[in-house]
Amino acid sequence: DSGVTQTPKHLITATGQRVTLRCSPRSGDLSVYWYQQSLDQGLQFLIQYYNGEERAKGNILERFSAQQFPDLHSELNLSSLELGDSALYFCASSVREWDEKLFFGSGTQLSVL
C-alpha cells in the first residue's frame, strides 16, 4: 500500500456530465500529481500542485481543472465529458516540490458512456 488514497475507484457517467475525483496524499507529502492512463496515449502527466499552489502543467484539457486544499488533499474536476475521456486517472504524491520517486494511488477508472 503506497499510502495514497483515491476515491472513487470506479465512476460511470454520461457524456456532457461533470465529475470530481479525489486524492489524499501520503501523510507528510506536500506535492500531488495527476496522471491520465489510456490505452492509446499511455500515461500522460496532467498537473502538479505543491502545498496548495500549481507547480507544473502537462497535457491537461481546458475542460479539466484541479486544486489542492489546505489539508493537502486534491481534487480533479472533469467537465463536459466526452467518450475519449474514459481512462484510468492516477494521483501520485511526494514530499518535496519535485521528486522523481512518486507514490501512486490505485487510480480511479472513469467510464464515459
Partner 1 sequence: AQSVTQLDSHVSVSEGTPVLLRCNYSSSYSPSLFWYVQHPNKGLQLLLKYTSAATLVKGINGFEAEFKKSETSFHLTKPSAHMSDAAEYFCVVNPGGGADGLTFGKGTHLIIQP
Give min distance, CB of 88 to partner 1, in A: 10
For the bound state, the minimum distance from the C-beta of residue 29 to partner 1, rounded and expressed in Å, comes to 14
For the bound state, the minimum distance from the C-beta of residue 37 to partner 1, rounded and expressed in Å, comes to: 9
Over the window 55 to 74, marking each residue x when it contacts partner 1 by CB under 8 A and - when it does not, the resulting string is xxxx----------------
* Closer residue to partner 1, CB minimum distance, 78 or 91: 91
Q: d(Cα 63, Cα 99) in Å, to the nearest integer?
A: 27
Task: Read off the C-alpha cell for 54.
Answer: 500549481
Would you say 52 and 68 are in contact if contact means Cβ atoms under 8 Å apart?
Answer: yes
Triad 26, 27, 28: Cα angle to 5°: 110
**Rounded-to-integer distance, Cα 20 and Cα 11, Å:** 10
Residues that bind partner 1 (CB under 8 A): 2, 4, 33, 42-43, 45, 48, 55-58, 90, 92, 98, 100-107
